[in-house]
Amino acid sequence: MPERKHPDWIKVRAPTSPEYFRTRALLTELKLHTVCQEACCPNIGECFSHRTATFMLMGDVCTRNCPYCAVAHGRARPLDPDEPRRIADAVARLELQHVVVTSVDRDDLADGGAAHFAATARAIKAIRPATRVEVLVPDFKGDEPAVETVIDAPVDIYNHNIETVPSLYRKCRPGGRYEVSLGVLRHAKAAARARGREVLTKAGVMLGLGEERDELMSVLADLRGVECDILTLGQYLRPSREHLPVARYVTPAEFAEIGVAGRAMGFRHVESGPLVRSSYHAWAHVN
């Protein structure tokens, strides 16, 4: 099958700004990984130019092998105990007001890396107390104590991606379960409230993998059912010929329509567009 060409609305310009190169150099200096680079994000130029990045914890090798994802998979390396400090250093040097911290899946760890997320949030807040910390976490295999470990840290937004509709999980996300991901978001909200805190929850969905419109709207209803506050919707882009093909390109107009429907369902904020990714414009989602 010939490679499907990207429509015009998918194309982005190569980054050229001085701030882009400064951010990239700092990340290299501190030996930090970002999902911007590892997942080939199309918005890397814009985000780096705004001196922001989504830091990726616990290495650049994932223990799962989702066929849509560009991140390498295999045997992960031991955790680096100095990584939280280096990320906090980068946040301070970039003077970030909002930082997103994510990770590869680490199913080899008893807590899935929850304690490492918590340590990173504490390190950031220790050096920049006013910086909002958003964590984009894996499903921790549904382990509620792991979710609570992250909630007990000074995080402001708890983000976990649903990724796609339930009927496509076996094909697109074989290492995950839809009900488990919903449960993670539900428990994060409940655990925060039990501690007298109001932590915003957030989730993202990729479009163009073969989902039907009614399936997508059902997912949005499920997310509101677990009181998810913030929603991101973006186009799936095939990283290489070895990954899942794009079933269709969703038009900007359709993204706009779905965004309107999501806001009508009660989401506090919906970011919906072809190039939207989980942390795209994240600093604006809580304003």
The stretch 108-129 carries a mean pLDDT of 97
Q: For 176-221, what is each residue's pLDDT tens digit?
A: 999 999 999 999 999 999 999 999 999 999 999 999 999 999 999 9
Residue that wins the pLDDT comparison between 262 and 76: 262
**Model pLDDT, residue 82:** 95
- When the pLDDT of each residue in the chain is averaged and rounded to a whole number, the result is 88
Residue that wins the pLDDT comparison between 67 and 255: 255
8 A C-beta contact, residue 56 and residue 104:
yes
Cα distance between residue 262 and residue 268, in whole Å = 9
Q: Give buried/exposed letters for 114-145 (b at 16+ CB in 10 A, else e).
A: bbbbbbbbbbbbeebeebbbbbbbbbbebbee
Confidence of residue 1 (pLDDT cuts 50, 70, 90): very low
Spell out the residues 6+ positions from residue 94 whose beta carbon is closer than 8 angstroms to its own: 23, 26, 51, 52, 53
Residue that wins the pLDDT comparison between 29 and 250: 250
**Model pLDDT, residue 43:** 57
Cα distance between residue 168 and residue 124, in whole Å = 37
Output 77-81 pairs: Cβ under 8 A, ≥24 positions apart.
79/109, 79/113, 79/116
Domain spans, the chain: 15-284
This prediction has a pTM of: 0.88
Q: Does domain 15-284 have CATH number 3.20.20.70?
A: yes
Cα distance between residue 287 and residue 285, in whole Å = 6
